[in-house]
């Protein structure tokens, strides 16, 4: 069957009013900033405890508060699981049952740690996450754009230079709600299909990172390249171009590997 991208119908209002966030690194903090600025409440959590988040909560303002991961999962209408893929088994499974879980995780094998199911392409990383969260509705999103670009590229609905982000998931309603949430944050979306097709926007594909920053300088090491992407200004990427890149992508080696 031929693969076909679809742009979900935009919803006029997002039903999510509170976003639970598990993991407050660059991705979690960046999404929290956009969510608060869009008028949503955020409940932040990490593995070190609520007391370590006082500074971040203060910077975000009155719409933010800190909690444990289980409390953030219970409080959120939707939950962003912004943890390393290797830490996915520590997510609060029971509290995430029935929740839409946005998965921004990427596979990054390293010496002494790899996942054979992903190396063999038997599963995508998001299928693996979904398998570990029975009862949750996992949507792959916010994994291929950096926090700097997330804060650079948001635009109001209908703006001619509005950027689109890919989403993948097995639950159509969960994808529609995620699209509405991303719309509130200032982005269009392109539906790449089920979690099995989420590889089309993972590392080693044209949709991963570089399409949102432009060509990098020549001669960078992998570590320097990562640092450059994290700081580079965003370059708008419209939905039509996301569809083109996704449709033309061929599956290559799984995972982002540091030299």
The predicted-structure confidence for 107-145, as pLDDT tens digits, reads as follows 988 888 899 999 999 999 999 999 999 999 999 999 999
Helix/strand/coil for 45: strand
- Token look-up 């209002």 returns 13
pLDDT(12) > 60: no
How confident is the model at residue 11, as a pLDDT? 45
Query: In CATH, what number does 84-248 get?
Result: 3.40.50.720
Cα–Cα distances in angstroms (integers) from residue 134 to residues 88, 219, 257, in the given order: 13, 44, 29
pTM comes to 0.92
Please state the domain extents for the chain: 84-248
How confident is the model at residue 13, as a pLDDT? 64
pLDDT(1) > 70: no
Higher model confidence: residue 236 or residue 112? 236
Least confident range from 137-146, 155-164, 222-231: namely 222-231
DSSP secondary structure of 37-55: HTT-EEEEE-TT-GGGGHH
How confident is the model at residue 15, as a pLDDT? 77
């Amino acid at each position: 069957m031929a693969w076909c991208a679809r742009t979900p119908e935009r919803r006029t209002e997002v039903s999510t009013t509170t976003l639970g966030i598990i993991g407050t690194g660059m991705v979690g903090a960046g999404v929290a900033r956009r969510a608060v600025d869009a008028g949503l409440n955020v409940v932040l959590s990490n593995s070190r405890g609520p007391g370590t988040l006082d500074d971040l909560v203060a910077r975000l303002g009155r719409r933010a508060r800190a909690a444990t991961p289980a409390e953030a999962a219970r409080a959120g209408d939707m939950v962003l699981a912004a943890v390393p893929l290797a830490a996915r088994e520590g997510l609060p499974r029971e509290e995430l049952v029935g929740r839409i879980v946005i998965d921004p995780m990427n596979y990054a094998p390293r010496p002494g740690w790899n996942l054979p199911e992903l190396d063999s392409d038997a599963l995508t990383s998001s299928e693996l996450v979904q398998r570990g969260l029975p009862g949750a509705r996992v949507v792959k999103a916010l994994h291929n754009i950096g926090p700097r670009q997330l804060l650079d590229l948001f635009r109001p609905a209908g703006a001619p230079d509005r950027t689109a982000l890919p989403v993948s998931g097995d639950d159509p309603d969960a994808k529609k709600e995620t699209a509405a949430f991303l719309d509130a944050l200032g982005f269009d979306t392109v539906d790449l299909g089920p979690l099995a097709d989420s590889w089309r926007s993972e590392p080693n594909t044209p949709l991963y990172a570089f399409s949102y920053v432009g060509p990098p300088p020549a001669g960078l090491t992998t570590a320097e390249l990562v640092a450059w992407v994290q700081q580079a200004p965003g370059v708008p990427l419209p939905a039509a171009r996301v569809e083109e890149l996704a449709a033309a992508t061929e599956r290559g080696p799984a995972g982002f590997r540091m030299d």
